[in-house]
């Protein structure tokens, strides 16, 4: 097993998941890269606490417990799941089909939407858009329940084209109106019940049901429409079918996948004016979209196995969910949900990403826009404090692995190099970071883990170093 | 040298989501208003009258008090050419002051750069809240972003003095290096260095502040309270930024819009009372804007994305009154079903940049725009002209 194999696998797991411990990486390298990609692409209902168990025994992190966005429960899945791509793809779609708690005011329905992303997010894009158009949170968020025959509300129609599929510049204002007409009658099925219920029940939705989709034939505009040059008595399904076979859709989705899984692109509004970072890569992914009949899983298979992916180590800035979930996965304090997880969920919000509550339908601005002085302070403080704790199982694991190297004796330089390796491996883009860490360790001289008392001073020096590594510039990158 | 522009502060409040102009400054005597808004209108008797034609939304009582004191300038019919009804794009246009093409830098980021060309004070611009709005971002210009003033700082868990000094030194070294950097690393490094510098200064602000004003319990009011604390600590901050929302009222508009304006109005009222108590109301200018107004016709329960809108400038040095023109609601005067804008938002920006912050507006908004006269000549400049 070479260092390069571990490095590549760590890269894959930062992108397709939320990072992995050294033990997990070694198992995956034994299995092989392509085989690991296949396992990621076909999520199993594997090792994680079931929703029923959480609801019964850990109600404090369950969506029914809090009227606020239930980020905690999702975060807990991100850090415990053995099928991380399932959560990652849900996060991907949540950023693009950004709908928020701020308008629906019901956690349950948002949890249902995210679950829909898990189930349909790796499948055919047509099916995903169809589910999205029937999703009650989306209907409320973009007012499609106010989109009536003879009195259209174009909000959903516009965003479906601009933000969810083709991108600005590939359709006319008239197409938006025709699209909105096709989605008249696509509304909420249990609005009366939910309204009555909301007036009677408390705001605590324990036992409440979710919003449901309903189709109202009598409110659907069944007349002829002309959409993207095609004419017919289109309903929503037809519109989605037309959208999904547009070249623009394949290219727009290819760029989104590249942006999220490979390297940070310019922000979305600049796409019509700025060429992609790697036009060939976008071409490859867009072609895969067409050739696979719009199958997201097939596009991702090509992406993860490509050279442009393998060569893009640390090319992205971690989003707060990746950052927080990654720290906790590596720190490994996960035996059961704890109130600490609630705090970690709130922290993601302070870092600029409240799950279930994106700032607007445009989603989050990503890349370096995640980093400003406020969010950076939150990231550094959280990560440094989390690792500077010899009781954390993940920290203990690193210390035990360290104790077996070099006969347990380290110069400051050796211990810095070994810790950088065991926490990632993390590549230092600059020598100055490494030398600052070495100087910091050198203030207390060489380190010996040979005759140490577990949990005492020498261990604490390692934990402090792990905290400082998590505070580096490099640790913000995936 | 950091320009102190006479200790003046600009406080920008962004109403996110597209504020409905027609239900904010209401043409309550105009029949076309009620014709176009069969559902989503305010009853004439509820409107807070400003004059014989226009009035404010019923929940804007605190702003009306400030209006009565002559401290509120209402810029009617503000907008930009060829309106774009996408939140995304429209907010970008307001943030970058550039309607024609997509650029990354914000107008306030550029203002911070010109106020403090050498980047000597990392607190010249301060965002109150999560994330950093594009308006304040400008490559190479440090701007502090503070979610919560009271707990702001690096490594709060390291308390022992020597360990703390060592840790912060190491952090400064790790983020300060400059050799062979790629752009991302460069950016993170600069942000970290600026954060370290700003954190220690900001920590002192709450200690220096006391006030009899009890702020309303809404997030905007809390942000403005943080602004007041930083202001009173004299840290050289010139530009503050806060947001409130969501004003994207496609459905169920009346209740939401009333609630939101109630929150904005009370937050602004509390803040102005606070700065007056500290003798700073003449050095404080609040600018309130939204990315667009909404359609003239309602959709049965809300309103869709429109164009022409309204902005407010509020402060002790403001020449209160109505500016711009209230757009006509007549069919042939409309712009694709929207109120037609009649003054470019960059006119207001230019007035603020030159008349308030003492900057050359032309390079910041990329052009010459006619300015308003809603900023009174300050006592200081009166004195100066007296000397001359």
Q: What is the pLDDT of residues B100-142, one digit of tens each?
A: 776 768 999 999 999 999 888 889 999 998 667 889 988 778 7
Looking at the complex, does the CB of residue A343 fall below 8 Å from at least one CB of chain B? no
Secondary structure (DSSP) of A53-117: HHHHH-GGGSTTT-SS--HHHHHHHHHH-S-HHHHHHHHHHHHHS---HHHH--HHHHHHHHHHH
| pLDDT of amino acid A354 | 84
Would you say residue A256 lies in a domain? Answer: yes
Regarding whether A167 and A59 lie in a shared domain, the answer is yes
Q: Do B250 and A468 touch (CB under 8 A)?
A: no
In A166-225, the residues whose Cβ lies within 8 Å of chain B are 168
Would you say residue A259 lies in a domain? Answer: yes
Q: Give which of A95, A60, A90, A92 is closest to A77, Cα–Cα.
A: A90
Domain boundary among A277, A310, A343: A310
Neighbours of A395 (CB within 10 A): 23
A298-355 tens-digit pLDDT? 999 999 999 999 999 999 999 999 999 999 999 987 767 777 788 888 888 888 888 8
| pLDDT of amino acid A301 | 98
CB A237 within 8 A of CB A109: no
Would you say residue A305 lies in a domain? Answer: yes
Lowest mean pLDDT among A352-361, B72-81, B167-176: A352-361
Compare CB distances from A269 to B92, B152, B175 and report the shortest one's residue. Answer: B92
Regarding whether A293 and A421 lie in a shared domain, the answer is no
Would you say residue B173 lies in a domain? Answer: no
Looking at the complex, does the CB of residue B207 fall below 8 Å from at least one CB of chain A? no
| pLDDT of amino acid B384 | 42
pTM of the model: 0.76
Q: What is the dihedral of CA B80, B83, B86, B92, to 10 degrees?
A: -20
Would you say residue A265 lies in a domain? Answer: yes
Looking at the complex, does the CB of residue A352 fall below 8 Å from at least one CB of chain B? yes
Regarding whether A438 and A299 lie in a shared domain, the answer is no
Would you say residue B324 lies in a domain? Answer: yes
| pLDDT of amino acid A172 | 95
**Count of domains forming chain B:** 1
List per-residue pLDDT tens for chain A, 478 residues long.
688 999 999 999 999 999 999 999 999 999 999 999 999 999 886 666 777 777 777 777 776 655 454 578 888 889 989 899 999 999 999 999 998 876 776 778 888 999 999 999 999 999 999 999 999 999 998 999 999 999 999 999 999 999 999 999 999 999 999 999 999 999 999 888 887 776 665 545 555 688 999 999 999 999 999 999 999 999 999 999 999 999 999 999 999 999 999 999 988 888 999 999 999 999 999 999 999 999 999 999 999 999 999 999 999 999 999 999 999 999 987 767 777 788 888 888 888 888 888 877 778 888 988 888 778 998 999 999 999 999 999 999 999 999 999 888 999 999 999 999 999 999 877 788 999 999 999 999 999 888 776 668 899 999 999 999 999 999 999 9
Confidence of residue B156 (pLDDT cuts 50, 70, 90): confident
Would you say residue B382 lies in a domain? Answer: yes
Q: Give which of B155, B158, B119, B157 is closest to B139, Cα–Cα.
A: B119
Alpha-carbon span B303 to B252, nearest angstrom: 9
| pLDDT of amino acid A126 | 98
Structural domain range at position B352:
5-152+203-387
Regarding whether A95 and A189 lie in a shared domain, the answer is yes
* β partners of residue B125: B239
Domain boundary among A310, A331, A361: A310
**At a CB cut-off of 8 Å and minimum separation 6, what does B51 contact?**
B322
Whole-number CA gyration radius for chain B: 22
Would you say residue A55 lies in a domain? Answer: yes
| pLDDT of amino acid B119 | 83
Q: Do A374 and B144 touch (CB under 8 A)?
A: yes
| pLDDT of amino acid A67 | 47
The CA distance from B290 to the nearest CA of chain A, in Å, is 14
B266-313 tens-digit pLDDT? 999 999 999 999 999 999 999 999 999 999 999 899 998 899 999 999
Q: What is the CATH number of the domain that holds B293?
A: 3.40.720
A and B: number of Cβ contacts within 8 A: 181
For chain B, give the number of residues: 388
Q: Report the residue of B191, B198, B335 to disrupt the A interface, i.e. the one with the largest count of A CBs within 10 Å.
A: B191
Q: Is A234 helix (H, G, I), strand (E, B) or coil?
A: coil
How many separate helices (H) and strands (E) can be counted in chain B?
11, 12
Would you say residue B251 lies in a domain? Answer: yes
Question: Would the pLDDT of B4 be above 60?
Answer: no
Question: Would the pLDDT of B12 be above 70?
Answer: yes
| pLDDT of amino acid A197 | 72
> What DSSP designation does A466 have?
H
Structural domain range at position A300:
5-310
**Count of domains forming chain A:** 2
C-alpha distances out from residue B294 to A153, A173, B49, B306, Å: 13, 17, 22, 4
Would you say residue A368 lies in a domain? Answer: no
Would you say residue B176 lies in a domain? Answer: no
Q: Do B302 and A146 touch (CB under 8 A)?
A: yes
Q: Do A365 and B134 touch (CB under 8 A)?
A: yes
| pLDDT of amino acid A203 | 47
Would you say residue A23 lies in a domain? Answer: yes
Element containing residue A374 per DSSP (H, E)? helix A373-387
**At a CB cut-off of 8 Å and minimum separation 6, what does A64 contact?**
A55, A107, A108, A204, A205, A206, A207, A208
Would you say residue A456 lies in a domain? Answer: yes
Q: Report the residue of B131, B198, B257 to disrupt the A interface, i.e. the one with the largest count of A CBs within 10 Å.
A: B131
Neighbours of A167 (CB within 10 A): 21
């Amino acid at each position: 097993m070479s260092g390069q194999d571990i490095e590549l696998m760590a890269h894959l797991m930062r992108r397709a998941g939320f990072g992995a411990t050294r033990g997990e990486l070694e198992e995956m390298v034994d299995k092989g890269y392509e085989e690991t990609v296949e396992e990621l692409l076909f999520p199993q209902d594997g090792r994680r606490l079931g929703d029923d168990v959480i609801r019964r025994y850990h109600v404090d992190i369950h969506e029914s417990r809090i009227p606020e966005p239930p980020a905690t429960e999702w975060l807990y899945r991100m850090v415990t799941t053995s099928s991380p791509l399932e959560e990652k793809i849900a996060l991907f779609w949540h950023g693009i089909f950004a709908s928020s708690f701020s308008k629906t005011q019901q956690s349950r329905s948002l949890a249902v939407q995210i679950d829909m992303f898990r189930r349909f997010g790796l499948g055919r894009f047509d099916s995903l858009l169809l589910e999205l158009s029937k999703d009650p949170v989306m209907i409320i968020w973009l007012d499609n329940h106010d989109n009536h025959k003879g009195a259209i509300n174009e909000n959903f129609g516009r965003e479906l084209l601009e933000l969810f599929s083709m991108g600005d510049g590939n359709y006319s204002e008239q197409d938006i109106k025709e699209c909105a007409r096709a989605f008249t009658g696509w509304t909420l099925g249990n609005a009366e019940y939910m309204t009555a219920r909301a007036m009677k029940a408390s705001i605590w939705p324990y036992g409440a049901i979710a919003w449901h989709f309903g189709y109202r034939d009598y409110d659907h505009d069944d007349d002829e429409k002309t959409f993207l040059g095609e004419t017919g008595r289109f309903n929503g399904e037809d519109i989605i079918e037309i959208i999904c076979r547009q070249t623009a859709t394949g290219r727009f989705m290819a760029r989104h996948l590249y942006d999220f899984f490979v390297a940070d692109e310019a922000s979305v509004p600049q796409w019509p004016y700025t060429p992609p970072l790697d036009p060939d890569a976008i071409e490859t992914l867009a072609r895969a979209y067409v050739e696979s009949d719009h199958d997201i899983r097939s596009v991702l298979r090509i992406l993860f196995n490509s050279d442009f992916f393998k060569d893009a180590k640390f090319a992205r800035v971690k989003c707060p969910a990746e950052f927080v979930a990654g720290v906790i996965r590596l720190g490994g304090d996960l035996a059961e949900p704890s109130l600490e997880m609630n705090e970690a969920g709130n922290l993601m919000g302070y870092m600029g990403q409240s799950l279930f509550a994106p700032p607007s339908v445009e989603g989050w601005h990503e890349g370096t826009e995640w980093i400003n002085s406020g969010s950076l302070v939150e990231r550094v403080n959280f990560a440094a404090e989390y690792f500077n704790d010899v009781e954390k199982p993940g920290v203990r694991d690193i210390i035990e692995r360290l104790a077996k190297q070099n006969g347990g004796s380290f110069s400051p330089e050796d211990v810095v190099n070994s810790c950088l390796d065991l926490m990632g491996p993390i590549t230092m883009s600059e020598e100055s970071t490494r030398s600052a860490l070495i100087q910091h360790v050198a203030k207390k001289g060489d380190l010996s883990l040979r005759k140490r008392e577990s949990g005492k001073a020498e261990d604490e020096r390692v934990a402090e170093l792990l905290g400082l590594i998590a505070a580096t510039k490099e640790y913000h990158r995936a | 040298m950091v320009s102190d522009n006479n200790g003046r502060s600009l406080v920008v409040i962004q109403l996110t989501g597209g504020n409905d102009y027609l239900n904010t400054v209401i043409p309550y005597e105009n029949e076309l208003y009620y014709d176009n808004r069969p559902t989503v209108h305010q009853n004439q008797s509820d409107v807070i009258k400003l004059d014989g034609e226009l009035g404010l939304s019923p929940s804007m009582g605190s702003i009306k008090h400030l209006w009565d004191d002559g401290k509120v300038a209402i810029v009617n019919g503000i907008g930009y050419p060829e309106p774009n009804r996408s939140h995304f794009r429209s907010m970008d246009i307001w943030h970058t002051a550039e309607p024609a093409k997509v650029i990354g830098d914000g107008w306030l980021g550029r203002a911070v750069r010109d106020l403090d060309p050498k980047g000597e004070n990392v607190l010249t611009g301060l965002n109150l809240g999560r994330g950093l709005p594009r308006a304040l971002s400008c490559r190479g210009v440090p701007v502090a972003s503070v979610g919560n003033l009271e707990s702001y700082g690096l490594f709060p868990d390291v308390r022992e003095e020597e360990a703390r000094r060592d840790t912060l030194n190491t952090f400064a070294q790790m983020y300060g290096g400059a050799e062979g950097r790629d752009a991302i690393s460069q950016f993170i490094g600069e942000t970290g260095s600026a954060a370290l510098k700003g954190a220690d200064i900001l920590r002192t602000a709450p200690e220096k502040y006391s006030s009899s004003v009890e702020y309303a319990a809404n997030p905007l009011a809390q942000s403005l309270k943080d602004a007041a604390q930083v202001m009173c600590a004299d840290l050289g901050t010139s530009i503050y930024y806060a947001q409130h929302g969501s004003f994207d009222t496609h459905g169920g508009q009346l209740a939401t819009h009333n609630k939101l304006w109630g929150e904005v109005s009370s937050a602004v009222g509390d803040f102005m009372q606070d700065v007056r108590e500290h003798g700073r109301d003449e050095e404080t200018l609040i600018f309130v804007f939204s990315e667009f107004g909404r359609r003239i016709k309602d959709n049965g329960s809300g309103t869709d994305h429109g164009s022409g809108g309204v902005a407010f400038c509020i402060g002790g040095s403001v020449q209160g009154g109505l500016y711009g023109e209230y757009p006509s609601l007549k069919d042939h005067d409309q712009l694709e079903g929207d109120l037609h804008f009649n003054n470019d938002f960059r006119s207001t920006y230019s007035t603020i940049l030159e008349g308030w912050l003492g900057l050359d507006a032309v390079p910041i908004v990329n052009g010459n725009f006619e300015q308003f006269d809603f900023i009174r000549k300050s006592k200081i400049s009166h004195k100066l002209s007296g000397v001359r």
